[in-house]
Amino acid sequence: MSQYCSTRFANILHQVDSLNPMGKLHMNDTIVSSIYNATENISQQVVSQREKPKIDWDKKLDDVLTSRVFGFPSMLLLLGMIFWLTVAGANVPSAMIAETLFWGQDRLTDLCNYLHAPAWFHGFFVEGIYRCLAWVISVMLPPMAIFFPCFTLLEDLGYLPRVAFNLDRLFKKAGAHGKQSLTMSMGFGCNAAGIIACRIIESPRERMIAMLTNNFVPCNGRFPTLIALAGILVFGMGNTFGATAIVVGIVLLGIAVTLAVSWTLSKTLLKGVPSSFTLELPPYRKPQIGKIIVRSIFDRTLFVLGRAVCVAAPAGAVTWLLANIYVGDLSILAHCAHWLNPFATALGLDGFILMAFILGLPANEIVLPILIMSYLATGSMTELESIEDLYNLFVVQHDWTWLTALCMMLFSLLHYPCGTTLWTIRKESGSSKWTVLAALIPLGIACTICFIVAQTARALGWV
């Protein structure tokens, strides 16, 4: 651009800013309102309707679902119902799938014994790779098979645009796009699916903000860890309401961090003016059940599960090798944990917890089993039967305090995305730089917050 054109362009922008400082005149809203008013006048003149419906149900529903008073409570109620259905409904099918897959593990063990296969062969392929795959499939598949159809049902009913309408103001103040709320909601099921959902945001800048912050809402893979740790925190009180309140508080903290990081990115790395988007609320529709099942199962559930399986298989192999190759009297995993211990202690954790998160990069579901395996030194991933067993292992045998459980919950909420999500970010952004940042930004935030919480609690003598 020549110097003359640059100067003229800068003058035009200056005049626009002086006429409409900081966009306070809401020019976009005014123009869109004028267009719709003109359209309504024309339609009234040229369109005739024989019978008008006695009750306009669309308007009556919108008066509740998008109102300033009832919009947010109704939205939280609906999402809460989906979470409850997902968490409560996934337990039985998860147990059935796990029983089937681990029955297959026993048969593979029988086959190895029949063939007189060496112990390392059975350990590496059956207890390492197969067991990790079985764990990821049994934990991830049922929640996704419930959550995605429920979410697609809301989408098909025409409710999701109302969610974007309700949250648009908050995200716009954070320098992001209102549609980010939809991708964030999808992230509750699976962050990788939330990243794919970012395609609905047209602006590349705002799409990147949505992709970099989707990790701050806990996915299905992290909920079991958060729920178990909340149970340890209130163990002995016999109060499930307390554990539920802790998990809800963690979810709300994740949403607050999402808004704060979006605002920071929009003022630094991804500077820009939030794009306006005109949202035309569609009419409520009768859901098409067949299409919902096909779309949610094939386009989302199997797609995300396939990527998770590809990442989990090598993770199981690496974890087994680290836990079973000894240097001196200790496994490599134990050596790494001892080396990390001083840094982890400063964050309110210990070296084994940090190693569990590092090895759990492929899938958050395996963080807790790896930690249990490390504490028990069993050499292969295992699971305990109850919260009481977890309490005895963590608190009684390994000196956990409430601060350890709290810092592990915070780290689980805020740390880097799982391998499947990072792979999806790389595919969607086409950039290694943004993929690395997508891992480093949350890791830095997780370390900072855990460090502040741990040091403050110790300085005040609370632990």
- pLDDT tens for 365-390 read 778 878 887 887 776 666 666 677 88
The per-residue pLDDT for 344 is 95
Question: The tokens 């609905």 sit on which residue?
Answer: 200
The per-residue pLDDT for 329 is 82
Kindly tell me if the per-residue pLDDT of 29 is higher than 80. Answer: no
Choice between 401 and 60, residue whose per-residue pLDDT is larger: 401
Kindly tell me if the per-residue pLDDT of 223 is higher than 70. Answer: yes
With beta carbons less than 8 A apart as the criterion, state whether 180 and 205 touch. Answer: no
The per-residue pLDDT for 146 is 80
The per-residue pLDDT for 120 is 87
Closest CA to 124 of 309, 312, 308, 318: 318
The per-residue pLDDT for 458 is 94
379/371 Cα distance (integer angstroms): 11
The per-residue pLDDT for 264 is 93
Mean of all residue pLDDT scores within the chain: 82
The per-residue pLDDT for 11 is 75
With beta carbons less than 8 A apart as the criterion, state whether 254 and 411 touch. Answer: no
Tens-place pLDDT, residues 99-145: 888 899 889 999 999 999 998 898 888 888 888 778 777 766 777 77
Angle at 181 between CA 294 and CA 307, to 5 degrees: 45
- The DSSP code for 392 is I
Express as a percent the part of the chain with pLDDT over 90: 22
The per-residue pLDDT for 72 is 83
The per-residue pLDDT for 53 is 67
The per-residue pLDDT for 271 is 80
Q: Under 8 Å CB-to-CB from 254, ≥6 apart: which residues?
A: 216, 217, 218, 413, 414
Kindly tell me if the per-residue pLDDT of 55 is higher than 80. Answer: no
Task: Report the SS3 class of residue 330.
Answer: strand
